[in-house]
A and B are shown apart, each in its own frame.
Chain A
């Protein structure tokens, strides 16, 4: 039960309401009793339809009654079919002349119309009734003459009443597929909806489904083509600035600035280290069982499949393989994981070995035009912040824009925005702290290959403050982590495991 305000009523009113409700209860029970009796007797007739209407019109969520109506519809249809077959069996007395109206189809159609009318009435009572929406879909699926254009009009009408009703949007997607409405036409509809009201997350969502289809990105490192992306960025910022406190457009904006990665994409090699006694592998995203993925090591003429991977920790991002490998100096090694093949570099220092490392989350490249658009947007955000320094969404978005333009040059500035957000948006303080830790680690890991002692040593300066240590799996190729005592204490058991740790344990 949602949104029913508790109101004080007089004793008299309460009594009156009680009587009224008692009558309703009696009527409901009588009707339900009669319906169940008839159903047991197999009487799926017109009276049954009338009885169910009475209840459904008030309470369309009683799904069993829709089931009964479907049984009635199927019964009527099968009777119609029998009638037609009987007709056909009779000897033809006279040939039909001209266009004889298809009586059977008309009759069937009127059965469906009756169901559609009822669902329409019910949806006026409760536009969020799962059962009523489903009955409408079911009915249309039975009807070979279903009028999908009419259904599209109905969606338009319902979306005018409530532009956020997700049932209507779901139904719209179902109908447009049936009616083969071109995606470009749907996009126009969406644009119109957004123009009427920017604060419409449902419209932005609908849009986000259409654009990647209409304007695909070849490299798949952005949600859509750069050209279209640029236009969308312009449009969404206008929307966001119309009411900077409305979140809908800002969410869309963050999606536009993101990578467009798929949820079920295969993990990629983040870091790898190989020595004679075995190897460690860090993935850029967790995978529950590395043994299921093919990992192949090539060195000169030699090809070895690495098997028997064991997890280094519970996250599924770092793995060890205790397979003794005949490491050959002066041989170029490469590692293949699924479709990805990476070349290994020889490990510096006295021991033999090779490694690979790719820092997380390299920003997608930008065309000149897109870069110019991002810079314009950033400037607009910074201008707005002059007037409204505590504007949460502007603070966050400008930090994201800075990072989309140039990550490392804007590192300190973007962290400053997060620090400010911890204050102005204190509910989500924990989120901003973790995000700052991520950005910091991305920054530090990007710098690591240039550091002395890479990849054996990793040093995090004392003054780098972190709430957590994400990307810990990347350190599995290191021997030594120089972290401040404070950070070590804070991390407790979750200090990342290194190659040296595994050696000490006797794994290698």
Chain B
């Protein structure tokens, strides 16, 4: 790519013109550098110890860079080849990296990466569909892999994967899948947990709200009850937590923010304060975002920091789709329309 089109401002914090007046500005180029370098040091301890989720790590990095308009800084060919090598020839699912087993979590990440790079035709998509369909259980729930763990995260992964592949029709039993996710809903707060009876949790709520958005069934939510519980996640710092009486966190900020956006209730929290919180979690030295102000940054929170800022309309960032956590232009290119509710 032509790097001269990106003129680095002399103070090194481009992209943030006029935003975050009361606090920090977005350290745009620092983050680009952070993500670009992530994974270049293969012998790095953290990098090595997190290989069991490598596929998701690549999805976090590519998506964050794409939102920042800097995707070309990564080696497309190298990444696509890596993803291809991770498809399990027996099951059709994707492993997080070579030598590990296929799982729904990494299958979704792999498909997200391939959609970003328009490389779906390079893999056996039918095998992926078979993998996902084969994991649905008689009660509508999904196993993460053949070993039988059930979780609403996997319900989301299943429908998100099939949606991205354009194969939601006549594959899984959608009605049963919906019924299962509904059975994980809680009367007390309108939220959702990982399985029937489990306590509501912002991360799982995102999965379930996203699931209903993809299956076009947002009418099943108790928007007023759930929206209230979600907006109560915002703390005086502006950051959002994942459950009552917990600490704020950049990733929970994304789960809550995205859910509220899908439900047309973004105006129930203070966007300005949330933006300040997210920007306070940047590491001004190394780039990258951490979970909370002053902590160590990582690639996971970097995506959700950038993604959150994009949802809040920060300038210099591409729009992100709240349901699939991918750049909106990719979702448009695929012709996918996840459901969203209008503001009342």
Contact = CB atoms under 8 A, between A and B. Distances in A.
Partners in one complex: yes
B342 interface: yes
Contacts of A25: 43, 45, 48-49
B9 interface: no
Contacts of A199: 245
Given A223-B187, A251-B188, A431-B228, A6 B295 contact: yes
Contacts of A164: 243, 245-246
A66 B193 CA distance: 24
Interface in B219-263: 219-222, 224-225, 227-229, 231-232, 234, 236, 238, 243-247, 249
A70 B101 CA distance: 13
A315 interface: yes
Interface string A68-83: 0010000000000000
A4 B288 CA distance: 14
Contacts of A434: 268, 344
B344 A470 contact: yes
A63 B103 contact: yes
Contacts of A64: 52, 95, 99-101
Contacts of A206: 199
A187 to B, nearest CB: 14
Given A6-B295, A288-B217, A166 B245 contact: no
Contacts of B221: 263
A21 B45 CA distance: 6
A201 B270 contact: no
A105 interface: no
Contacts of A470: 344
Interface in A396-429: 426-429
A134 interface: yes
B309 interface: no
B147 interface: yes
B201 interface: yes
Given A5-B296, A67-B147, A470-B344, A248 B244 contact: yes
B189 interface: yes
Contacts of A63: 52, 100-101, 103
Contacts of B189: 251, 255
B148 interface: yes
B283 interface: yes
B211 interface: no
Contacts of B186: 205, 208
B57 to A, nearest CB: 11
Contacts of A264: 179, 182, 220
Interface stretch (A28-36, A108-116, A117-125): A28-36
Nearest to A434: B344
Chain B: interface secondary structure?
Answer: loop
Contacts of A285: 219
B234 A1 contact: no
B314 interface: no
Contacts of B66: none
A429 B179 CA distance: 34
A272 interface: no
Contacts of A508: none
A24 interface: yes
A5 B295 contact: yes
B185 A263 contact: yes
B295 A315 contact: no
B199 A3 contact: no
Nearest to B274: A427
A465 interface: no
A215 B265 CA distance: 35
A227 B189 CA distance: 22
Interface of B: 43, 45-46, 48-49, 52-53, 95, 99-101, 103, 145, 147-149, 151, 179, 182, 185-190, 193-195, 197-201, 216-217, 219-222, 224-225, 227-229, 231-232, 234, 236, 238, 243-247, 249, 265, 267-270, 273, 283, 290-292, 294-296, 298, 300-301, 342-344
Given A63-B103, A170-B193, A251-B188, 18 more contacts: A2-B291, A25-B43, A25-B45, A64-B95, A169-B198, A170-B197, A170-B199, A201-B243, A247-B245, A248-B245, A286-B219, A427-B231, A429-B270, A430-B268, A431-B265, A435-B224, A438-B224, A469-B344
Sorted from nearest, which 8 A-B pairs have the closest CB atoms? A21-B45, A430-B267, A286-B219, A431-B268, A64-B100, A255-B188, A201-B244, A134-B149
23 contacts: A1-B298, A3-B247, A6-B283, A6-B290, A6-B295, A22-B45, A25-B43, A64-B52, A64-B99, A134-B148, A164-B245, A205-B188, A205-B199, A205-B200, A251-B232, A251-B244, A261-B222, A264-B179, A285-B219, A288-B219, A431-B227, A435-B224, A470-B344
